[in-house]
Amino acid sequence: MLRASHTCSPRSRVRESGLALVIALIVLVAMTLAGIALVRSVDTGVLIAGNLAFRQGATVAGDTGVETARTWLMGNGSSLTADSPGNGYYSTSQQNLDLTGNSPDPSKTAFDWGSNAKCLAEDAAGNAVCYVIHRLCENSGPLDSSTCSTAQAVRGGSSLGSIRPMETFQERSWSMVATMGYYRVTVRIAGPRNNISYIQTFLVI
């Protein structure tokens, strides 16, 4: 009984070898593209994490600017009726200024942080902090509730109004009611990677 035998011709073997080479090349290209995408993804993640870290550091440095401005205001309460550009202080709100350079209003003037602000020494992380203080008033001079943003505050006295140990009654009393002004503190932080952040806060003094 004869059995059928199957043999591969040299031509078919060449065809199979060529197909395997094409498949191998396709797989190699796909793996290369996947590797490139992975590297780019990792690089992007590292870059984002670094930017967030620098931004957080800039925010912390900005707090130093706010605290320095507050300390200056508390120590110069008697001379806040006039501008003091050398200390980054202005007795009016100057609403026509663009403090960040991002205002869409073309009528606003860009603020010159190099000449009109108070700059602190660069910190260890390379952050350069400058601040400017604006009293929220329309005009210079003493605080005026009609032209300034003000708040009423009690500065001293007693809230006692109960029976004292000697069974006598003490009326509650306050020594004086003070008019306090609002001050806008804007801080600009220039980071070591040319990143710039702004912090703005309002103080009542």
In this structure, what are the phi and psi dihedrals at residue 172, rounded to the nearest 5 degrees? -70, 145
Q: State the pTM of this model.
A: 0.67
Domain boundaries, given as residue ranges, for the chain: 11-204
Query: What is the separation of C-alpha 141 from the centre of its chain, rounded to a whole number of angstroms?
Result: 32
Give the pLDDT of residue 150: 93
Q: Are 35 and 156 a contacting pair, CB within 8 Å? A: no
Phi, psi of 182 (to 5 degrees): -95, 140
Distance CA 149, CA 137 (A): 6
| Residue 29: its H or E element | helix 10-75
Distance, in Å, from the CA atom of 199 to the CA atom of 60, rounded to the nearest integer, reads 10
Q: What is the pLDDT along the chain (205 residues), one digit of tens a residue?
A: 445 555 555 555 555 556 777 788 888 888 888 888 777 766 666 566 556 556 666 778 888 999 999 999 999 988 999 999 999 999 999 999 999 988 888 889 999 999 999 999 998 888 899 999 999 999 999 999 999 999 987 656 655 555 555 555 556 666 667 889 999 999 999 988 778 889 999 999 8
